[in-house]
Chain A
Amino acid sequence: MNLFINFFATLILILFIGIGTNLNATAVLEDTTTYVYVKIEVKGLSCPFCAYGLEKKLKEIEGTTDVEIDIKEGLAMFRIAKDKQPEKEQLRKAVKDAGFTPEAVTISTTPFKIDKDDK
């Protein structure tokens, strides 16, 4: 009887782990299929007012989330829903509206890395 209980408990455990792993995989899959990742090189970023100002203007673009500004590197990075992906020119305009000069704009299906200590 004990052997049967042990076997049954192990089976349930394996099932739970399996479901959990599958959920995680689904979440990752959803991230890469639902969003695109944007990196903009920005000239003229210096103080926190600039950084948070740029963050504010980028958040005003529909579908934008997780905006990160790296003052030292002069970078703005965020993700945006794939079905709301803006034209590069619209992104450049948002940067200009924030008071800066946009340089290279890169759009990727995988996230960019950012060093949070730099902000």
Chain B
Amino acid sequence: MTNKTILAILWVGTILLLGCSSSSKWSFQNKIFLTDISPISIAADGDFLWLSDVAGNRLIKIDTNGNILQEHKSVQRPMHIAIFQSKLYVPEFERDTIRIIDNQDRQNLSLVKPLDAPAAVAVKENDVAIADFYNHRIVIKRGEQTSIIGKEGHQKGELYYPTDAAWYDSQLYVADAYNNRIQVFDEQGQVLRIIGENDNIQVATGLTVANEQLFVSDFEGNRILIYNTKGELLQTISSEALNKPIDIEVVGDIMWVVNHEGGTLLQYKLRH
């Protein structure tokens, strides 16, 4: 086989692979009804899911059929939670604290900057990022150091009621909810890119990043928008099953969407 033939085969193979990946779409698979739960956030824990029940002031662990397996009570208005090394990080919107739950042990994350309504927490290694809703900023706690990203405003790098955050590849993705966009920051707080500005997002309440894709829940627009990490829109989901989607979790080729209204959990599958 000549070099030219090998190159041609490789070229055709690459084209085919790219074609397959670009035609991969998320499609609706299942709806799970949650009884007496007002869900606002979701985080995967192995084969199980944790939900924050904001009205019920509790966290609940469910299986993928929606059966409640465990609960943690007495958290005050828990918002977008995170799981890191088996610990639950819980922003308590009303108490202005980040509660860390490790089995039955509970403690507060010590912070030198006072929060006003923490809406989300994102954790990686030594870095904890907190969406500080009423202060319109992100508080980063890195070991004992604390730094701030953003201030109130509508310009590049400024925030207006941030509601969610996620780390991915050492970059911080922030749901800049009432600026109707996602901003991506490096670890020093410099803006790397702005995503979704021209996509008519109405309120970007929740996001997650997985498999080189960014997933955004547009609460008021009743849509899920899926981008690549460069910010190119790949897919928009606006099915009837969506009912004020507020948070998303992705595990492999399964996407979970939390509907705030009606208290349901939607399951989508990536189809090639």
Please give the residue numbers on chain A whose beta carbons come within 8 Å of chain B beta carbons, in ascending order.
46-49, 52-53, 55-56, 59, 99, 119
Contacts and interface: CB of A to CB of B under 8 A. Distances in A.
A48 B119 CA distance: 11
Interface residues of B, number: 21
A46 B220 contact: yes
B134 A48 contact: no
B246 A48 contact: yes
A53 B117 contact: yes
Contacts, number: 43
B205 A49 contact: yes
A118 to B, nearest CB: 10
Contact of B161 (A55, A59, A99): A99
A59 B94 contact: yes
A24 to B, nearest CB: 29
A16 B33 CA distance: 46
A49 B79 contact: yes
A52 B55 CA distance: 9
Interface in B216-255: 219-220, 246
Contacts of A48: 40, 54, 246, 260
Main SS at interface, chain B: loop
Given A53-B117, A59-B94, A46 B203 contact: yes
B94 A56 contact: yes
B133 interface: yes
Interface string B146-184: 000000000000000101000000000000010000000
A71 to B, nearest CB: 10
A47 B117 contact: no
A46 B219 CA distance: 9
Contacts of A55: 77, 94
26 contacts: A46-B219, A47-B163, A47-B177, A47-B203, A47-B205, A47-B220, A47-B246, A48-B54, A48-B246, A49-B93, A49-B119, A49-B163, A49-B177, A49-B205, A52-B54, A52-B77, A52-B94, A53-B93, A53-B134, A55-B94, A56-B77, A56-B93, A56-B94, A56-B117, A59-B94, A99-B134
